[in-house]
Amino acid sequence: MAERVCGNCRWFDENPILDNDGFCRRNPPTGDGSDLPRVEPKDFCGEWADASITPEQEEMRELTRRFAVAIMSTVYGVDLQFDLIWTAAKNMAAAEPQIQREDGK
């Protein structure tokens, strides 16, 4: 995973005119509403999103983490090896979009 700084964030737009500083597209414009917040590549904020993966991959990682936590919180999860928990969580996350309701929708 990339270092969690603006320069590696999905929301960062580099601008060579600003000495390689850029703009944060995640936060709302400042001032009169026309300017995005100016940030440096080494800045950090809590809205960071890894630019090296797609939003779909990030969503799959989060879903896998949630399934792993859910499995670990059961009485059965305590006795499972970590690699088996992550494998099961990954499989469940991958199957989730394919699950359909009984009425076929």
Determine the Cα angle at 74 with ends 71 and 75, to 5°.
Answer: 130
Assess if residue 34 is contained within a domain: yes
Residues 2 and 48 in one domain: yes
CA dihedral over 38, 43, 47, 50, signed as positive or negative: positive
Q: What is the pLDDT of residue 66?
A: 92
**Range(s) of the domain holding residue 69:** 55-98
Residues 15 and 47 in one domain: yes
Q: Where are the alpha helices (DSSP H) in the chain?
A: 55-72, 82-95
Q: Is residue 76 over pLDDT 80?
A: no
Residues 7 and 38 in one domain: yes
Assess if residue 103 is contained within a domain: no
How far, in Å, CA of 65 to CA of 43, rounded? Answer: 27
Q: Is residue 103 over pLDDT 70?
A: no
Residues 4 and 36 in one domain: yes
Residues 42 and 75 in one domain: no
Assess if residue 105 is contained within a domain: no
Q: Confirm if 93 and 67 have CB atoms less than 8 A apart.
A: yes
- Is the pTM higher than 0.85? no
